[in-house]
């Protein structure tokens, strides 16, 4: 059975997002029985079903023998699959772009928009000239609702780079950016792999809080969701290199070293 799925979200009972690579279809040519999916979202509460396991089983039963996933929201979700999974980190694409901006390393600070993203932000900061780390401490009162409480770290006079795996309604990252400006940040950049952009994300992101919003095309950004501060980077080269390494039985992890 020939099966290819490009850039599809593994759904949860609270959010379902699907998409395909708009300009990178050539990646799938000649590739059989492989699934390529980007980002699995898990907001689990008591008595809530975990749809990701069902989707993993459906992909396997459909005939896939290997999965290539980009920046899963929870790395542990790889365990839902009974077939090999290659987890690709797209932060290198964003890091290369930021490096081209030639911002002085002494002026940089990497910010995690919540406590749960500290590990991701720390890894990002280490590769971005070993920049210092700051954390936005928030409390969520409901799904897609967030309230910023305080900031851990110093951002005064610095260029703050906020890092997250996805931007959905942009409530968390927008409130975090507002707090960073209040604390004296000179500029604020938002970096994310997956641009879900559920309303009112575009309004929040284009409100003037961000110098630039940097995302990748793991999810195609609709034309109506473009705004002047938005930069969309292609992950075609990264995925293409990963796919060829998988088929040639070469190391995938060495790409990210």
Residues 30-64: tens digit of each pLDDT: 334 555 555 544 445 555 667 888 989 999 999 99
Average pLDDT over residues 95-117: 90
Domain boundaries for CATH 3.40.50.2020 within the chain? 8-90+237-256, 91-234
User: What does the alpha-carbon distance between residue 89 and residue 221 come to, in Å, rounded to a whole number?
Assistant: 19
Q: Which residue has the higher pLDDT, 196 or 21?
A: 196
Question: What's this model's pTM, rounded to 2 decimal places?
Answer: 0.79
The sign one gets for the Cα dihedral 238, 74, 11, 85 is: positive
Judged against a pLDDT cut of 50, whether residue 19 lies above it is answered with no
Judged against a pLDDT cut of 50, whether residue 25 lies above it is answered with no
Judged against a pLDDT cut of 60, whether residue 27 lies above it is answered with no
- Percent of all residues in the chain with a pLDDT value above 70, rounded to a whole number: 77
CATH number, domain 91-234: 3.40.50.2020
Q: Does domain 8-90+237-256 have CATH number 3.40.50.2020?
A: yes
Judged against a pLDDT cut of 80, whether residue 81 lies above it is answered with yes
For 205-224, write each residue's pLDDT tens digit: 999 999 999 999 999 999 99
Q: Which residue has the higher pLDDT, 136 or 148?
A: 136
């Amino acid at each position: 059975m020939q099966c290819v799925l490009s850039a599809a979200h593994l759904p949860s009972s609270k959010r379902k997002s699907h998409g395909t690579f708009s300009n990178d279809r050539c990646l799938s040519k000649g590739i059989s029985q492989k699934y390529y999916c980007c980002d699995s979202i898990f907001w689990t509460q008591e008595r809530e079903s975990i749809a990701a396991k069902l989707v993993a089983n459906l992909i396997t039963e459909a005939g896939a023998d290997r999965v290539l996933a980009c920046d899963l929201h929870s790395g542990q979700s790889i365990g839902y699959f009974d077939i090999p999974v290659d987890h690709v980190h797209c932060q290198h694409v964003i890091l290369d772009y930021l490096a081209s901006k030639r911002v002085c390393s002494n002026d940089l600070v990497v910010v995690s928009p919540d406590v749960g993203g500290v590990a991701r932000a720390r890894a990002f900061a280490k590769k971005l000239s070993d920049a210092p780390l700051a954390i936005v401490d928030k409390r969520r009162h409901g799904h897609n609702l967030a309230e910023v409480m305080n900031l851990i770290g110093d951002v005064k006079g610095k260029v703050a780079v906020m890092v997250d795996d996805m931007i959905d309604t942009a409530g968390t990252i927008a409130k975090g950016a507002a707090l960073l400006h209040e604390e004296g940040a000179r500029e604020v950049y938002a970096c994310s792999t997956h641009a879900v952009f559920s309303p009112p994300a575009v309004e929040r992101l284009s409100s003037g809080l961000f110098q630039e919003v940097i995302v990748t095309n793991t999810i195609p950004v609709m034309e109506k969701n473009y705004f002047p501060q938005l930069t969309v980077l292609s992950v075609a080269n990264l995925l293409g290199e990963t796919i060829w390494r998988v088929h040639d039985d070469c190391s995938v992890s060495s790409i990210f070293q």
